[in-house]
A and B are shown apart, each in its own frame.
Chain A
């Protein structure tokens, strides 16, 4: 549905995006992941035709954005960063304005607006002035605005930013409910969101794609390091020394230390060898220390993310 190839964007001498290539298939929810300033918003603005492309090509449903921007803009519903809205307008008035611009046929206009109001949970707020709405409701208006005209593609820039947890869940459910029917690109720097909502993830860092795949691809099993948390009683220095020397253990860090009970909380970074838990436990017991807990730590997407961008930093 959306094909982006060799996309490069300069702002003056600053390279905001560097040779970015990816595709989004029909019905897929693609998550754009990256820290602030990574180039997520720029990429979205290029796809929606707000910024002109420096180099590369973007097609939306086989139509080139540079060649026929009006046709691609018809296909895209866009929620820009920070959710800008005409604050003075009434909700319904604003949605009508959007419907007129998106060429929604007169006959369907009323139904279309009702559908968007209903889908976004705005019933009862149609006649409120937008600036008087709470942030969560404004976000819904932003989403409703993107849904007007039933576009095939949705581009949502940080749709859950600044909402309270309950609202975040609602908005996520709204987006999830549309999966399969619409092609969605969603940007976020909140990692759990990606694994909850998206079917595929593109990680952007400093204008480049550093990883791409399903959330499972980026899950702990696929990462070549393992984390183990150990709580142990005994002499601090010898414990750290002995465990560090074990085969497969790469790094030992002391998380916390309880002097009264003489116990330590350690985090081990190890390779992925299967009996590593076994070896660590045996080492502790054979040295006569008391093993209080030992548990493999499940690595969250967050860790993967941090790891991806930190290794990328190391390269430079």
Chain B
């Protein structure tokens, strides 16, 4: 455990001592921020129109949890796909290029300690990103709250007494759980890509290609139909993640992401070992 922690600590230090993580986070937040903003504008226009409908006795359905929160999670999932190669590309490729992998494998470390330590460090970055992302959910809730009659201009009173006023904790929980599971699948693929090459650019491109393929592979199924459709939908990220962003925690989806991550971490270990056999 102590060794696992020291690998974890080293990776964390490395993340924050090099600029790439800051660049990655900046891009992530600019993009999610932009999509959040556009969703909000769209929603406010819809609600304006809905107000008109209501005057004629119709009740259109507008659900903040589904339309805004669902969108926040869905957008985060897609943007992660673009920026995560930057997070994982260096994990093994850098060590192989600089030769430090030789140090790592001649220290008294087990393979799983190395892989789990690196994986945990990347997941930790994801947690930081998610915590910061929580701000947009808070803002949504606050904006809704300000339109209510019990509105108090005191922000602390809002935070401690009235939060959450419209967002449902269950949806937040399932969305964040889904994002963490999805991120662990992303990271596992990225780690595998990083373990088969010593070139970080190749690792990043392989990761991006792999992630995109697993994300969109279900779309092909819709055209084909039949068994192939079923199979491809089961393999794809998008379908399994969809439920989480809608606030549904399904054990099937959790198991899918866990098996996916474990499988790729397992072949990462095998790929590193085979490299040592071949020299």
Contact = CB atoms under 8 A, between A and B. Distances in A.
Contacts of A299: none
Interface residues of A, number: 33
A180 interface: no
Contact of A52 (B106, B109, B276): B276
* Residue in B6, B13, B100, B108 with the greatest tally of chain A CB atoms within 10 Å: B108
B102 A50 contact: yes
A80 B103 contact: yes
A51 B276 contact: yes
Interface string A40-51: 001001001111
Contacts, number: 80
Interface in A82-141: 82, 84-89, 93, 97-98, 100-103
B99 A100 contact: no
B6 A100 contact: yes
A100 B276 contact: no
Given A50-B276, A97-B6, A97-B9, A84 B110 contact: no
Interface in B1-51: 2-3, 5-7, 9-10, 13-14, 17-18
Contact of B18 (A45, A84, A88, A145): A88
B179 to A, nearest CB: 29
A206 to B, nearest CB: 16
Interface stretch (A55-63, A71-79, A221-229, A265-273): A71-79
A108 to B, nearest CB: 14
A50 B100 contact: no
A82 B100 contact: no
Interface string B94-112: 0000111111011111100
A76 B105 CA distance: 12
A70 interface: yes
B279 interface: yes
A82 B13 CA distance: 24
Interface of A: 11-12, 16, 42, 45, 48-52, 70-71, 73-74, 76, 78, 80-82, 84-89, 93, 97-98, 100-103, 145
21 contacts: A11-B279, A48-B106, A49-B106, A51-B277, A52-B277, A70-B110, A80-B103, A81-B99, A82-B99, A84-B100, A84-B102, A84-B103, A86-B14, A86-B98, A88-B13, A89-B13, A97-B6, A98-B107, A100-B9, A101-B6, A103-B2
Given A73-B108, A100-B6, 7 more contacts: A73-B107, A82-B99, A89-B10, A97-B9, A101-B3, A101-B7, A103-B3
